Structure formats: structure tokens, C-alpha cells
């Protein structure tokens, strides 16, 4: 940390006690932007950094609902409207028992810079609940989503704050929330993204985050001088949800091979590769049957399955040898320093973060020190929110673009994000450091908008 940002970081620690994920996300950005602040004293004078680390608004609410046994349940609901300087607040809703202010503040803060990098007019927001959809019936999930929206509708709007999905929130949950919003507000507009195409969703949105992470990896590999990109590369993927599934799909289409996927219980190693047919099985298993990834190993021959730390050497997907690209696509801090070292030792050349902040800070530093092309989540997984931005545009225009049109635009956006991060890193004397490049480029856009709008 530098002399400008150090006291601000200390204040963040003081004001946001017991929120380590938020501290980690702020530290990563503040660590990067000191050179930009030295170049732009007007940002320092206007207190931009003090303001950018403080959410504009934090909303907490109660979500009461009745389970299938007729018993009243109470969950907590949150929406964090972190910064709206460059556009309506935008960011997903996460349903997971671990959800609390610290996780949502980290996600909303990351989202701000990510959204700036897409080049689209979207501010940073995030929300969610400590509700666990696992093991709940469709009826329970619906009643929960309806109760959540009965409160949340007061604070969101298509031109003000547009939530989307995240962990635990897919098409089913978005549908229930949208239905309740429409019923209460008597309007049909794009207040949520990630909708199904039948009622205003964008084609290509389910694919967007995973595809974007693969396109970002492809650009990083090409920037290293390897024009083949993903073709013939063996890849490690974690998670088996939305991001992981479409990461595997595009790697396959580009001629690469994924040999791992995981869930919160364990991971599989399939040396033959998770081909199109096996991926269809995973999609059905996870999206329809809502089963466990261990079932994959029972279904296909030659597949190993382990729970975490069960095997003496292969403690997680990150210890599996023989790969050159890694896509952490499950959750925050899923790659620790020891795993980072294992990846480097096994010859990984590029890491593209499909998840948000999946690598611990020391691991990020290690990758950069070892000259691994490391695409931080706020750049590498920006394809999801970029396509949400395209969904907002289509809703405002009352038009629906073809899948090719959407994915064509997304591909260009990912190339632009890569080039912006790459060139900004070079400009600030850190060639190849996508963390510095993405943080500074995202920061400059938001800071300029905040400066122009005065002290608000
Ligand atoms: P899903 O809920 O569809 O999938 C999450 C996957 O991660 C599941 O396989 C889940 O396993 C696994 N997982 C969750 N927690 C853990 C854990 N503690 N340890 C190991 N595995 C875990 O979520 P998404 O695919 O949408 O999101 C994944 C990541 O990508 C998140 O970090 C999210 O913030 C980020 N992201 C998502 C975007 C999107 O468009 N969806 C956009 C940008 C970022 P299980 O099945 O057991 O629950």
C-alpha cells in the first residue's frame, strides 16, 4: 500500500470490522491504484478514494416465508447499492448460507470496477440472502423468492438498480422474483437480468460468464505469443454450476480439453476429458436433478472422485498434473497459496478467474511473481455482467437480438477488456500484470465520473 492509500485502508478496517472478504477486495484495488493517484492529484483532493470504498446505500430486510410443513421461516435479505456514478447499480443476487454484509460488500465493490471495464453504463451493486436453496422444494423456493421481492421491489427499478443471478440464483429464482415484481408494480420492464428468452431474457446470457472467461484466457495465451490459444490445451475447472458448465462447453468448442470439475463436496478427474455428451449429463445432473458431482464418477469409467483433502496428493482440482490453463469457477478463496504453488509447479501458464476472487491474495502475488498470465475475476468473468448489460439494452429497445449477435458482441467486449487491462498495465510500468491493469482502468473511469458529479 502507498502513502495515499494506506490511511484510507486503515479506516476501512476500522469501519468494517469482521468483514475479511471486503478487506481483501479493497486491499487488492488500493494496492494497485497508487500510481494512478500520483498521476491524478485531483482525485486525491476530491476524496475519491475515501468515497469509493464506502457503499452509497446498504439495505437489510427480513424475509419471512412458510415451508412445506407449514412452519414459518425467517431469512435475511440484503441489497448493496455500492456506487452508481457510471450507471444504474448492477450486480447479482446470491443465495447461500454464508451470505452476510462482508461477502456482499466485497462482491459489490468488485462489481463496480468490473462493470466499468465492460465499457457499458452500469454501476456496482450486489445482494442476496442467507437462504440455502439446497434441499428445498420448488414451492418453497418460489414462496421465498416472492417474499424477498415483496420487500426488494421498493428499492430497485430498470433505470436505477437491476439485480441478476449469482451462486444459488439461476433461471428458476429469477423467474419467481420477476413474476412477483411484475405483479406488485404493474409494469413489464427489464428490472432483472438473467431472465428466460420467453419473457425478455437475452439469448447467450447463460453462456456469457463461462464463455467470457475462456475468451479472456485465449487472449492472454495469444499475448504470450502462443497463437493456438485454447486449442489442444488441457484445462482444470472448478465448480459445476453455470460458470463452470459453459467454460467447459467453450473449451471443447475451441479444441481444448477439461479434465476436472467439482462441487462443494468433492471433485472428479476425467483424463479423457469432459466431452459434449458428458457435459450434457453434468448440466442435467446439476440444473435439473440437482445432484452431486460424485455421481459423474459412477456413471463414467476411468473417472476418479475425491472429497477435498481425501487423497494425500490430489487434495483438490488444483493439484491435478498435466494441465496448462486453470479456470477457478466455484467461489471466493477456493485457491490457497499451497494450491497456487502446485499449479505453478505443474506447469500452468494461464489462470482465468470465472469466479469472484477465487484466489487468495498471496496466491495472486505468487502467480504474478512467477509470470503466470493471471486474469483476475473482475476482468476475466466480466462477460456475464456485460451480457446482462446487453439484456438491459434489448429490454429498453424492446428488441431481441439473435444468439450470434449477442455472443459476437460479447466476444468483442472480452477482447476489449483484455486489451484495456494489458495496455493499462504497460502504461503504468507493469507489463503482463492484469491485476494492476484492470484495477487502474476500472478505477479511472469511475473516478472521472465521480469527480464530474461533485461531492455527493
Ligand atoms: P452456481 O450456483 O451455478 O454454481 C456454483 C458452483 O460452485 C457449484 O458447483 C457449487 O457446488 C460450487 N461451490 C459453491 N460453494 C463452494 C465451496 N465453498 N467450495 C467448493 N465449491 C463450491 O454459481 P455460478 O456458477 O453462477 O457462480 C460461480 C462463481 O462465479 C461465483 O463466484 C460467482 O460470484 C461468479 N460469477 C458468476 C456469474 C454468473 O453469471 N453466474 C458472473 C460473474 C461471476 P454445489 O453444487 O455443491 O453447491
Cα of 264 from ligand 1 centre, angstroms: 9
Closest approach atom of ligand 1 to CA 332: 32
Task: Cite the DSSP H helix spans in 73-170.
Answer: 101-118, 138-152
Residue with the nearest Cα to atom 10 of ligand 1?
263
Report d(CA 89, CA 68) in Å as an integer. Answer: 35
Pocket test for ligand 1, best of 317, 331, 357, 359 (most atoms within 8 A of CB): 331
What is the CB < 6 Å shell around ligand 1? 165-168, 209, 239-243, 262-265, 329-331, 334, 354-356, 381, 384
Closest approach atom of ligand 1 to CA 377: 44
CA angle 130, 358, 152 (to 5 degrees): 30
126 flagged as catalytic: yes
Report d(CA 264, CA 406) in Å as an integer. Answer: 32
Residue with the nearest Cα to atom 27 of ligand 1?
167
Report d(CA 159, CA 328) in Å as an integer. Answer: 33
Look-up: residue for cell 485531483?
A: 42
Pairing type for strands 257-262 and 234-237 reads parallel
Closest approach atom of ligand 1 to CA 263: 11
Q: How would you write the pLDDT of the chain (456 residues) with one tens digit per residue?
A: 789 999 999 999 999 999 999 999 999 999 999 999 999 999 999 999 999 999 999 999 999 999 999 999 999 999 999 999 999 999 999 999 999 999 999 999 999 999 999 999 999 999 999 999 999 999 999 999 999 999 999 999 999 999 999 999 999 999 999 999 999 999 999 999 999 999 999 999 999 999 999 999 999 999 999 999 999 999 999 999 999 999 999 999 999 999 999 999 999 999 999 999 999 999 999 999 999 999 999 999 999 999 999 999 999 999 999 999 999 999 999 999 999 999 999 999 999 999 999 999 999 999 999 999 999 999 999 999 999 999 999 999 999 999 999 999 999 999 999 999 999 999 999 999 999 999 999 999 999 999 999 999
Identified catalytic residue from 114, 126, 195, 278: 126
User: What are the two backbone dihedrals, phi and then psi, of residue 325, each rounded to the nearest 5 degrees?
Assistant: -130, 140
Spell out the domains of the chain, with CATH numbers in brackets.
1-54+433-456 (1.10.285.10), 57-189 (3.40.50.10860), 205-371 (3.40.50.720)
Amino acid at each position: 500500500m502507498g502513502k495515499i492509500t494506506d490511511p484510507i485502508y486503515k479506516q476501512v478496517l476500522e469501519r468494517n470490522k469482521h468483514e475479511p472478504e471486503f478487506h481483501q477486495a479493497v486491499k487488492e484495488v488500493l494496492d494497485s491504484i497508487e500510481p494512478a493517484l500520483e498521476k491524478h492529484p485531483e482525485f486525491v483532493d476530491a476524496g475519491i478514494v475515501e468515497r469509493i470504498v464506502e457503499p452509497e446505500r446498504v439495505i437489510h430486510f427480513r424475509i419471512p416465508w412458510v415451508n412445506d410443513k407449514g412452519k414459518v421461516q425467517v431469512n435475511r435479505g440484503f441489497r448493496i447499492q455500492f456506487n452508481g456514478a457510471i450507471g444504474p447499480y448492477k450486480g447479482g443476487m446470491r443465495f447461500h448460507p454464508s451470505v452476510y454484509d462482508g461477502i456482499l460488500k466485497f462482491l459489490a465493490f468488485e462489481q463496480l470496477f468490473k462493470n466499468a471495464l465492460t465499457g457499458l453504463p452500469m454501476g456496482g451493486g450486489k445482494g442476496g440472502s442467507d437462504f440455502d436453496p439446497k434441499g428445498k422444494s420448488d414451492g418453497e423456493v418460489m414462496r421465498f423468492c416472492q417474499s424477498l421481492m415483496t420487500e426488494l421491489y421498493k428499492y430497485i427499478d430498470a433505470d436505477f438498480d437491476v439485480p441478476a443471478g449469482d451462486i444459488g440464483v439461476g433461471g428458476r429464482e429469477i423467474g419467481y422474483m420477476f413474476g412477483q415484481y411484475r405483479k406488485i408494480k404493474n409494469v413489464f420492464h427489464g428490472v432483472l437480468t438473467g431472465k428466460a428468452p420467453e419473457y425478455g431474457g437475452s439469448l447467450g446470457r447463460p453462456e456469457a460468464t463461462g464463455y467470457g472467461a475462456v475468451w479472456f484466457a485465449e487472449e492472454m495465451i495469444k499475448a504470450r505469443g502462443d497463437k493456438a490459444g485454447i486449442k489442444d490445451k488441457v484445462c482444470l475447472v472448478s465448480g459445476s454450476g453455470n460458470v463452470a458448465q459453459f467454460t467447459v462447453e467453450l473449451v471443447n468448442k475451441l479444441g481444448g480439453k477439461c479434465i476436472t470439475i467439482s462441487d462443494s463436496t468433492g471433485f472428479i478427474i476425467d483424463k479423457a476429458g469432459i466431452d459434449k455428451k458428458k457435459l450434457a449429463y453434468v448440466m442435467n445432473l446439476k440444473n435439473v436433478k440437482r445432484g452431486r458431482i460424485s455421481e459423474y464418477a459412477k456413471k463414467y469409467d476411468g473417472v476418479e472422485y475425491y472429497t477435498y483433502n481425501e487423497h494425500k496428493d490430489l487434495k483438490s482440482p488444483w493439484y491435478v498434473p498435466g494441465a496448462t490453463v486453470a479456470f477457478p469457477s466455484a467461489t471466493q478463496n477456493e485457491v490457497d497459496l499451497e494450491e497456487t504453488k502446485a499449479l505453478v509447479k505443474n506447469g500452468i501458464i494461464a489462470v482465468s478467474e470465472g469466479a469472484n476472487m477465487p484466489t487468495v491474495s498471496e496466491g495472486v502475488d505468487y502467480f504474478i511473481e512467477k509470470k503466470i498470465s493471471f486474469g483476475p475475476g473482475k476482468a476475466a468473468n466480466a462477460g456475464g455482467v456485460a451480457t446482462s448489460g446487453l439484456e438491459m439494452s434489448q429490454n429498453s429497445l424492446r428488441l431481441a437480438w439473435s444468439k450470434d449477435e449477442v455472443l459476437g458482441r460479447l466476444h468483442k467486449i472480452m477482447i476489449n477488456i483484455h486489451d484495456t487491462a494489458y495496455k493499462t498495465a504497460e502504461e503504468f510500468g507493469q507489463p503482463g500484470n492484469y491485476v494492476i491493469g484492470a484495477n487502474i482502468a476500472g478505477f479511472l473511469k469511475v473516478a472521472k465520473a465521480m469527480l464530474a458529479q461533485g461531492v455527493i
